[in-house]
């Protein structure tokens, strides 16, 4: 039986890669008067659901997604979390 998983994927630039968007946001925040802000890094946050036979297969699918489309492995890291979605109960 297949199970649906709610997934949250975080894609971030590798620490060694310059983040011009982060620098711009940091400067913008300082101009707004927020002086204590530092080390701003902008990444992507992706929510999706995956249907798979088990958690291992779901994780394999997520790795494949991230490697092939969602992240650029040369300059980005990714991590993900997944939680099973309760199946609709049939005649409880």
43 sits near a copy of itself (criterion: CB under 8 A): yes
77 vs 3: CA distance, rounded Å: 27
31 vs 48: CA distance, rounded Å: 35
30 sits near a copy of itself (criterion: CB under 8 A): no
14 vs 64: CA distance, rounded Å: 19
26 sits near a copy of itself (criterion: CB under 8 A): yes
List, in order, residues 6 or more apart from 71 with CB less than 8 Å away. Answer: 11, 77, 78
73 sits near a copy of itself (criterion: CB under 8 A): no
Nearest distance, CB of residue 91 and a copy of itself, angstroms: 25
* Interacting residue ranges for a copy of itself, rule: CB under 8 A: 2, 10-12, 25-26, 28-29, 32, 34, 36-52, 61, 64-65, 68-70
């Amino acid at each position: 039986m297949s199970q649906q998983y709610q997934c949250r994927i975080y894609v971030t630039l590798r620490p060694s890669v310059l983040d011009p968007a982060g620098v711009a946001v940091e400067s913008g925040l300082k101009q707004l008067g927020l002086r204590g802000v530092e080390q701003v890094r902008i990444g992507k946050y992706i929510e999706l659901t995956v249907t798979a036979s088990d958690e291992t297969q779901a994780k394999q699918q997520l790795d494949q997604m991230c490697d092939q489309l969602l992240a650029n492995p040369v300059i980005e890291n990714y991590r993900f979390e997944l939680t099973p979605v309760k199946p609709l109960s049939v005649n409880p």
